Structure 1
Amino acid sequence: MSVPTATLASFKIPAVTNEPMKTYAPNSAERAALQAALKELRAQGPLDIPCVVNGKEVRTGIMEKQVMPHEHKTVLCNFHNADEALVAQAIDGALAAKKDWENTPFNDRAAIFLKAADLAATKYRYKIMAATMLGQGKNAWQAEIDAAAEMIDFWRFGVKFAEELYTVQPPENSFGIWNRTEYRPLEGFVFAVSPFNFTAIGGNLAGAPVLMGNVCVWKPAPASTYASYVVYEIMREAGLPAGVIQFIPGPAPEVVGQVLKHPEFAALHFTGSTHVFRKLWRDIGNNIENYKSYPRIVGETGGKNFHMVHKTANVTSVVNNTIRASFEYQGQKCSACSRCYFPDNLWPEIKAGLIATHSRIQVGGVEDFEHFSGPVINQFSFDKIKSYIDWAKTDAESEIIAGGTYDDSVGYYIQPTIIVTTNPKSRTMTEEIFGPIVTIYVYKAEDYESTLDLVANSSAYALTGALFSQDRYATVLGANKLRDAAGNFYINDKCTGAVVGQQPFGGGRASGTNDKAGSAAILSRFVSPRSIKESFVDLEDFVYPSNLI
């Protein structure tokens, strides 16, 4: 295709709503289907996962293992890492595919993503969930809200938001003039680096730029390689042309270094650690004179998310929301609750509620549906989280009131742990842990306003936060004082669980660029608008009217 296909009509996409959630209740059809998918996937392992470059599977023989974190002696898949030559081939292939993909009409690009969403909702739903459960240690509910519902929502709402973005046009036209805006894809290629903790994020990091006509080189996290490969399979079956997304697992230093030195590098779409993101930003800056254009840098990183509780809060709600926000998916969410500020008038009741509720948490393998918590992702994570528990046991200002044990003999299990501290700036109140640990500071109820200042200014992060209050004036005061402390702010609800199309997600400070995944805002980062002015009236003279005598 050497020239753009003619656009013969203006199309309106089908109505988009959030994907309905399945419950996986006992004896339900969806539970039986998911259990069958888990059994089938386990029987197939270990799988052999290739790189995919220019639509062709490539097996380099440079192997790495992805194990099941709840049973780490079992290998889910062996995957092939890209080498230097293959990374170069992937970049060249993406650039070669760019022109035809850019010239593909929006309705055809949209159709691919709408079909991918329908495939994920039907044919692939249980396969992608099983891959996420066995490979990333999620229970059925967490896999449903991630690998199924959120990924489907990203693709469907992405099309809706793209349609809306394209309709944003200049509101004024002078006589004889037609002004219009063209939303071009970026020059060059986009580099997507996805994390282990959300399968859906990989589908969006690669998918969002591609929807807008860009080509993408995608490096998935090693610990989510298989689920990411299934995401790629879905997009390929939906009709994504070869070369538009290049799937290249590989060692970060080699892959990233090669990508960031390329003159056609146009954008980074990243989710991961703050440390890595800052290094990538520095590396991009150091290469800035090599690039054809200034690269777009879009990143969502860490968090030290809070629950702030006023003296009028509903205790039952505080307890249940804190348990969920802190311990669902073992605290391995960038939005997970990690620090709490509870008033002393409610503390005895909250403490009793937390201990009683914590005692009901069942920890174990993901194939047993009664387990609320599972394993953390790998040995490195286990050792890091364990070190914080060991530190708290020896710290004079900290007390563990629930949990505090761990065992990696079979899987990487950390018992959900609740710490109470008398120091609001202790290690576990300020450092990102990314595991099932929450630390509580009890403040004097009459010091609500000064504690709000403490919450707002005691963390380098600003991703999510929640305020619990039944007093509207206290709620307004808290919302105002905490305005810059969280990009996603919740009132009388937990600090996790942003839904595409409902709560666009992202934060500031050390938490990222706050470009709001799940909204039109993030799509605007992957286009380069061109303003077009067309004149229908010829200019008869160069002289201004004011020049006349």
Structure 2
Amino acid sequence: MIFQASRLIITVNHLHSLKSINRVWLQGDFRRNMHLLLNKTLINGEWVSSSSNTELAVTNPANGSIVGHVPDLDVHDVNKAIDAAHKTFHSNEWSSLTAKERSTLLKKWYLLLESNRNEIASIMTMESGKPLAESLGEITYGNSFVEWFAEEARRVYGEIIPTPQKQKRLFLTREPIGVAALITPWNFPHAMITRKASAAIAAGCTVVIKPAEDTPLTALALVKLAEEAGFPKGVFNVVTCSRKNVAAVGEALCTSKQIAGVSFTGSTEVGRILYRHCAEGIKKIGLELGGNAPFIVFESANLEKAVTGAMTSKFRNCGQACVASNRFLIQDTVSDAFTAKLLTAMKSLQVGDGKDQGVQIGPLINTAQLHKVSDIVEDARSKGAHIVVGGRPIPGKGELFYEPTVVANITPDMRLYTEEVFGPVVAILKFKTEDEALRIANDTNRGLAGYFYSENLNQVMRVSRKLEVGMVGVNEGLLSTAEAAFGGVKESGIGREGSRHGIDDYVEIKYICLGGLD
């Protein structure tokens, strides 16, 4: 069963949470019991509408129903949010806080996030379509960053440098950059905000958050709890907007002289645009972009473990994850056996509305994503690939559902070879030698994550070193954790999130030379 029922996300507490949420759903009392399902956004400590009084409807991708409405902000509204964050950053109310005081606020936020996990999970499932179990798992993961950076806030250390001259003393301090713009994606609407915001706040920055237009409700729930935790007004500001305003809003965040740094998670294509905007002001920028992750199974691998890892790394969030395995490179001597075991495991996958118990695969996020997945699979089919299983939308489930799919006989001229499919599609390629596997794995401009399975220790050390990626899962299909540095190489990004290095995007090193000493 996917995720080993599910080692990724389901704990006893989560199962109790699932039962509680489903009781509310079955009673038809879902929205009425929610205090975090909001229809205004937070700017300078006030819950406001857009200046034009226009709204964006948020829909449930599982059934097309409207979950709620949020303000459709424009550049005028964005500038208000930036001004608020800038003034708060320079105010005594925020700048005079000690690291311990910021840590305490983050801890309060963490406890509120934990105590409201059921409601946040419900909102997330409604607007993103992911199964409730995965929403709860994301909350555990996302909250772990708030907990982690609450602790790291008190460890933003400086340095005392041994001086070459007796009359001088040399110091380095790490100081917050100022206002950070955080632009987050729809696939992990909770964790991508907490991973960025908690690091920025720990460093002493203020933030303007621009959530994805498909999933803004989770963001509003998070900042509502930050408000309840006692953060001063203007520390958290949220800019919600429709797709038609996204380009202008993104440009405004990147080009404003009051924004000191930008952190973006999303596609490489959009990342390039934001990088260009930030270049004009020489801003600090963190980019966590697309991947094309190889999943390599060598003949020495434990195939049962490899299949478990494949299920975790491929089908989580319906394959809509930047670290999801994209190209499955299977050594020819074990390819048939691995594929047979994978197909057996996939038979247990339940596709459906994320609110229903037992569902493991929800819908794709929107029509554009469905068309992308369908087009990539059809391109492979037209060029001679073998569709082993799946390969079609499932209109009987809803407009945005796609079958869990396995495609074999992949060749370099197919989009499945070169592009990140971002859907529940396994693309299988056979290889003969380790060198061939590494050549194929590294034959991409992306380099976020890579996975491989081997019981040969020498091979483990060689392949770990030679894979051109920022993160390597060895005999493991799930590698993300707050304690480790998350990020890629090549066109998969700049900088790292999580770990002690996650603070780096939000601080500058100041050198102080104290002279004239006796």
Give the structure-1-normalised TM-score.
0.86
In the alignment, which of 273, 277, 294 is matched to residue 279 of structure 1? 273
Amino acid at match of 2:265: T
Judged with a 3 Å threshold, the aligned counterparts in structure 2 of structure 1 residues 424 and 474 are, in CA distance, closer, same or farther, namely: farther
Residue 489 of structure 2: aligned partner: 508
Return the alpha-carbon distance in structure 1 between the equivalents of residues 13 and 285 of structure 2: 42
Judged with a 3 Å threshold, the aligned counterparts in structure 2 of structure 1 residues 346 and 228 are, in CA distance, closer, same or farther, namely: same
Residue 211 of structure 1: aligned partner: 202
In the alignment, which of 531, 534, 537 is matched to residue 517 of structure 2? 537
| Deviation for aligned residue 1:36 | 4.2
- 2:134 counterpart SS class: helix
In the alignment, which of 481, 487, 497 is matched to residue 499 of structure 1? 481
Return the alpha-carbon distance in structure 2 between the equivalents of residues 25 and 238 of structure 1: 24
1:405 equivalenced with 2:399 (yes/no)? no
In the alignment, which of 61, 71, 74 is matched to residue 69 of structure 1? 61
Q: Is the 8 A contact 1:361 1:372 kept in 2?
A: yes
Which runs of structure 2 are paired with 1:165-184 in the superposition (5 Å)?
165-166=156-157, 168-170=158-160, 172=162, 178-184=169-175
1:475 equivalenced with 2:463 (yes/no)? no
Return the alpha-carbon distance in structure 1 between the equivalents of residues 210 and 109 of structure 2: 20
Amino acid at match of 2:72: N
1:486 equivalenced with 2:480 (yes/no)? no
Q: Is the 8 A contact 1:190 1:209 kept in 2?
A: yes
Which runs of structure 2 are paired with 1:359-378 in the superposition (5 Å)?
359-378=347-366
Return the alpha-carbon distance in structure 2 between the equivalents of residues 49 and 372 of structure 1: 29
1:526 equivalenced with 2:506 (yes/no)? yes
- 1:413 counterpart SS class: coil
| Deviation for aligned residue 1:47 | 5.6
Structure 2 alignment gaps of length 5 or more? 1-7
Q: Is the 8 A contact 2:327 2:428 kept in 1?
A: yes
Q: Is the 8 A contact 2:37 2:123 kept in 1?
A: no
- 1:439 counterpart SS class: strand
| Deviation for aligned residue 1:186 | 1.4
Residue 69 of structure 2: aligned partner: 78
Residue 258 of structure 1: aligned partner: 252
Return the alpha-carbon distance in structure 1 between the equivalents of residues 361 and 153 of structure 2: 37
Segment of structure 1 superposing worse, 311-320 or 258-267: 258-267
Amino acid at match of 1:263: K
Residue 297 of structure 1: aligned partner: 285
Return the alpha-carbon distance in structure 2 between the equivalents of residues 426 and 490 of structure 1: 26
Return the alpha-carbon distance in structure 2 between the equivalents of residues 424 and 29 of structure 1: 47
Residue 105 of structure 1: aligned partner: 98
- 1:170 counterpart SS class: strand
The Cα offsets for residues 366-419 of structure 1, whole Å up to 9 and x where unpaired, read as 1112111111111111111111222233221x1111111213463410111111
The Cα offsets for residues 494-524 of structure 1, whole Å up to 9 and x where unpaired, read as 1x441111x32111111111x2211121212
Aligned structure 1 segments of 4 or more residues deviating by more than 6 angstroms: none
Structure 1 alignment gaps of length 5 or more? 1-19, 539-549
Judged with a 3 Å threshold, the aligned counterparts in structure 2 of structure 1 residues 41 and 204 are, in CA distance, closer, same or farther, namely: farther
Judged with a 3 Å threshold, the aligned counterparts in structure 2 of structure 1 residues 180 and 34 are, in CA distance, closer, same or farther, namely: farther
| Deviation for aligned residue 1:430 | 1.2
Amino acid at match of 2:63: E
Amino acid at match of 2:345: T
Judged with a 3 Å threshold, the aligned counterparts in structure 2 of structure 1 residues 421 and 24 are, in CA distance, closer, same or farther, namely: farther
Residue 547 of structure 1: aligned partner: none
Give the structure-2-normalised TM-score.
0.91
Return the alpha-carbon distance in structure 1 between the equivalents of residues 480 and 98 of structure 2: 31
- 2:215 counterpart SS class: helix
Residue 30 of structure 2: aligned partner: 41
The Cα offsets for residues 324-367 of structure 1, whole Å up to 9 and x where unpaired, read as 21112100010001101101111121121112111111111111
Amino acid at match of 2:439: D
Q: Is the 8 A contact 1:117 1:151 kept in 2?
A: no
Residue 57 of structure 1: aligned partner: 47
| Deviation for aligned residue 1:48 | 5.2
Residue 190 of structure 1: aligned partner: 180
| Deviation for aligned residue 1:264 | 2.2
Q: Is the 8 A contact 2:485 2:501 kept in 1?
A: no
- 1:71 counterpart SS class: coil
Judged with a 3 Å threshold, the aligned counterparts in structure 2 of structure 1 residues 406 and 479 are, in CA distance, closer, same or farther, namely: same
Return the alpha-carbon distance in structure 2 between the equivalents of residues 144 and 130 of structure 1: 9
- 2:171 counterpart SS class: strand
- 2:411 counterpart SS class: coil
Residue 449 of structure 1: aligned partner: 435
CA RMSD of aligned residues (A): 2.3
The Cα offsets for residues 27-82 of structure 1, whole Å up to 9 and x where unpaired, read as x533332324556434579965212211111112211111111111x111111111
Return the alpha-carbon distance in structure 1 between the equivalents of residues 255 and 453 of structure 2: 48
- 1:490 counterpart SS class: strand
| Deviation for aligned residue 1:25 | 8.1
1:96 equivalenced with 2:99 (yes/no)? no
| Deviation for aligned residue 1:529 | 2.1
In the alignment, which of 117, 121, 124 is matched to residue 114 of structure 2? 121
Q: Is the 8 A contact 1:203 1:228 kept in 2?
A: no
| Deviation for aligned residue 1:215 | 1.8
Residue 449 of structure 2: aligned partner: 464
Segment of structure 1 superposing worse, 41-50 or 252-261: 41-50
Q: Is the 8 A contact 1:24 1:140 kept in 2?
A: no
State the number of aligned residues: 498
Judged with a 3 Å threshold, the aligned counterparts in structure 2 of structure 1 residues 267 and 306 are, in CA distance, closer, same or farther, namely: same
Return the alpha-carbon distance in structure 2 between the equivalents of residues 231 and 362 of structure 1: 30
- 2:181 counterpart SS class: strand
Which structure is larger by alpha-carbon Rg, 1 or 2? 1
Amino acid at match of 1:454: I
Return the alpha-carbon distance in structure 2 between the equivalents of residues 340 and 425 of structure 1: 16
The Cα offsets for residues 301-344 of structure 1, whole Å up to 9 and x where unpaired, read as 10111111111111111222112211121000100011011011
Amino acid at match of 1:202: I
Judged with a 3 Å threshold, the aligned counterparts in structure 2 of structure 1 residues 438 and 431 are, in CA distance, closer, same or farther, namely: same
Residue 149 of structure 2: aligned partner: 158
- 1:223 counterpart SS class: coil
| Deviation for aligned residue 1:420 | 0.7
Residue 3 of structure 2: aligned partner: none
Residue 131 of structure 2: aligned partner: 139
1:245 equivalenced with 2:236 (yes/no)? yes
- 2:11 counterpart SS class: coil
